[in-house]
Amino acid sequence: MIVAMINDCAFVGETIGKYLPRDVVVRYVRRGRGFWSKTFGIAYKILRTDADVYHVHYLLQDCYIGLRLGKRPLIGHAHGSDVRTTLNHPLWGRVVKYNLRKCDKVLVSTPDIIEGARRFREDAEYLPNPVDLQLFYPKPPQEGGERKRVLIASDSNWVVKGTDIAIRALSRVRNEVSVSIIAYGKDLDKTLRLAEKLGVRVNILPKTPHDKLNQYYWNSDVVIDRFKLGSLGMVSLEAIACGRPVITYVSSQYQEYRDFPLKDLRNEEEIAEAIINADEKLWRREYEYVIRNHDPTTIANRVVKIFRDLV
């Protein structure tokens, strides 16, 4: 079987492809963010691609182009903002709705977007994001100094990720932590100014390729992710897989997270306390959840079954 993996998000498609059985051949159809690449360039690549199944990540132009070019069967894989925000856009929302209705199968990567997808596609299915356990695996913490080493690993975005909430929480324990942040995200400058204002000293780490992120996780004691969406992001999953406890907001309203140990963490004071108290015991409970729900081989086998059913 030949599968065309079109576009990607947070390396989910690449990880799925890595763990598929040997009799499944994956052809990756990639694009950049430039105007030509994400319009005429991707259309040309999709047109020239022949496969038994087309698995498209993000329900935007890539998915729409594939459908209009008659590439079938086609799986539309929603990853967050396409359903969470773009669905309500006056122009792009029409594209997302069209894709939801016309795809042969719709997958969603986080529980917080299931309801939005099912408004237009009742059979939309939740597929947990896989974690590449060959790349992200536990290592014992390095011997550190007196302060707990905290890594802010998600992109700096106040509206979506709540990076400002993280900084305000850290300011409450600024004398007990050593804070690092990866230098990416549209609100990075605002975040650094807020940290300076609140007396939080921040070590800025250069943005690094995905396959080098594990080094940042291993060099920390605690990893901070996002505090707005209520769902587990790839940063959380990969950091936990690397052996580090993660502090993030996971909403108890989602049944899929019933076994996750740390839920409904949004108050700055509670976040600060959780950072200081984060230990191996918390990590082990988080790790058990990740292995049980985000094992890449298990998820790849689910995807293969979907491929075969469609073919």
> pLDDT tens digits for 292-301?
999 999 999 9
Cα separation, 47 vs 69, in Å, equals 7
Q: Is the pLDDT of residue 282 over 80?
A: yes
Is 148-293 the same fold as 2-130+295-310?
Answer: yes
**Which of 156, 194, 199 has the alpha carbon at shortest distance from 174?**
199
d(CA 192, CA 23): 49
Q: Which of 61, 38, 46 is nearest to 6 (CA)?
A: 46
Alpha carbons 91 and 122: distance in angstroms, whole number: 23
Query: What is the structure's pLDDT at 144?
Result: 67
Q: What is the DSSP string of 141-201?
A: PPP--SSEEEEE-S---TTTT-HHHHHHHHHTTTTTEEEEEES-STTHHHHHHHHHHTT--
105-108 vs 74-78, strand pairing mode? parallel
Is 307:1 a contact under the CB 8 Å cutoff? yes
Q: What is the mean pLDDT of residues 276-294?
A: 97
pTM equals 0.95
**Looking at residue 145, what is its pLDDT?**
75
Does 302 score more than 90 pLDDT?
yes
Q: What is the pLDDT of residue 146?
A: 85
Return the CATH number of the domain spanning residue range 2-130+295-310.
Answer: 3.40.50.2000
pLDDT one-digit tens code per residue, 12-27: 999 999 999 999 999 9
Residue pLDDT, tens place only, 30-81: 999 898 998 999 999 999 999 999 999 999 999 999 999 999 999 999 999 9
Residue type, 32: G
C-beta separation of 29 from 78 below 8 A: no
The CATH class that applies to domain 148-293 reads alpha beta
User: In 3D, which of 44, 34, 38, 36 has the Cα closest to residue 95?
Assistant: 38
> Would you place residue 303 in the very low, low, confident or very high pLDDT band (cuts 50, 70, 90)?
very high
pLDDT, one tens digit per residue, over 104-156 is: 999 999 999 999 999 999 999 999 999 999 999 999 988 767 899 999 999 99
Query: Which helix (H) or strand (E) segment is 47 a member of?
Result: helix 42-48
Residues facing 92 on adjacent strands: none
97 has a pLDDT exceeding 80: yes
- Residue 200 has a pLDDT of 97
Helix (H, G, I), strand (E, B) or coil at 213: helix
Domain ranges of the chain: 2-130+295-310, 148-293
Cβ atoms of 206 and 183 closer than 8 Å: yes
